[in-house]
Structure 1
Amino acid sequence: MPKPDLRWTSLSLGKAGLRALAEILRADLVPAGVHVATVTVDCHMVPGTDSDPDLVAEHYWQLHAERPGAWTDEIVHRGSAPV
Structure 2
Amino acid sequence: MNMTVARALIDLLLSLELSDEESVSLEAATAFVEDASATLSALSRLEREELTSIIRQMENEATMEERREVLRSLPEDIGLLD
Shorter-chain-normalised TM-score: which range? Answer: 0.3 to 0.5
- After TM superposition, the score normalised by the length of structure 1 is 0.33
Larger radius of gyration between Structure 1 and Structure 2: 1
Structure number with the higher strand fraction is: 1
Structure number with the higher helix fraction is: 2
